[in-house]
Homo-oligomer: A and B are copies of this chain.
Amino acid sequence: MLGAIEAGGTKFVCSVGTEAGEMIERIQILTEFPEKTIPQVIDFFRKYQIDALGIGSFGPLDLNDQSDTYGYITSTPKPGWVNFPFIETMRKAVNVPIAFDTDVNAAVWGEFLFGAGKGLGSCLYMTVGTGIGAGAVVDGKVLHGLSHPEMGHILLRRHPQDEFEGICPYHLDCLEGLAAGPAIAKRWGKEGARLSESHPAWEMEAHYLAQALLQYVFILSPQKMIVGGGVMKQPHILPRIHREMERLSKGFLTLPPLENYVVPPGLGDDSGIVGALMLAKKLLVEKNVKNNM
């Protein structure tokens, strides 16, 4: 039995499941201060005998296992979670091997194994919700390097009609600062879910997301790009992104038909939690291989 946590800015999803990716139970817990949220998380796993735990967490995270703060959430603007020792806290509670990565890295791993990226060698998963982030699988492995990518914070060209200053606490008008859910709400004075389909917000939103996705193509060239998150619940936004990518890439990039190339998640809202479960499985498999050597 495997355990998984998808730690988001709004809610934690906790689940136990099988190595085949089947979920046996799952719950949601509101993301409040760690002192309030984490005990509920631990309680959930107490009921089960898990062999490994996979965590996909909001970040930034310290993923460098040589570092003193390995396994920490580091500089998040989320109150209470700065320097939260996630691995350490969970290890004390469950005492099993723990796989730890970003929420979007977990999600792309889930989509790669069972979702829209199944059967490919590479793919990218982007979420457009309270924040914007993306993770990638390259050649069958989750992309890491110096650290995890920070694809939500790239700088884009401003839309000519956009005078909004942006709300990223680090950069103001990076991608996340201009195009995540809260940026839409602040710019137009209304939540995205309450803006009509013909509202100019959506062409602007599509412009930013298309630009970002094209940067990912230029730099990473993934075989498929999967876009999820709350803002993508607007049914007209994906076709708008396709049109805008078409316009912006014209005559240069040869891309597959965009409706097959930039797609919604195959696992719906479960990419992250399924991916976290599969990160736990991967860790177990690697440990077994090592033990048998």
Contacts and interface: CB of A to CB of B under 8 A. Distances in A.
Interface residues of A, number: 40
A176 to B, nearest CB: 11
A215 B138 contact: no
B255 A146 contact: yes
Given A171-B252, A252-B170, A218 B143 contact: no
A173 to B, nearest CB: 10
Nearest to A211: B155
Contact of A149 (B156, B219, B223): B219
A217 B146 contact: yes
Nearest to A255: B146
A193 interface: no
Contacts of A121: 145
A127 interface: no
A145 B122 contact: yes
Contacts of A247: none
B155 A221 contact: no
A251 B60 CA distance: 13
Contact of A221 (B139, B148, B217): B148
B154 A221 contact: no
A170 B218 contact: no
Nearest to A147: B221
Closest 3 CB pairs of A and B: A145-B221, A170-B252, A219-B219
Interface of A: 75, 121-122, 138-139, 141, 143-151, 153-158, 170-171, 211, 214-223, 251-256
5 contacts: A138-B143, A145-B220, A154-B215, A154-B218, A171-B252
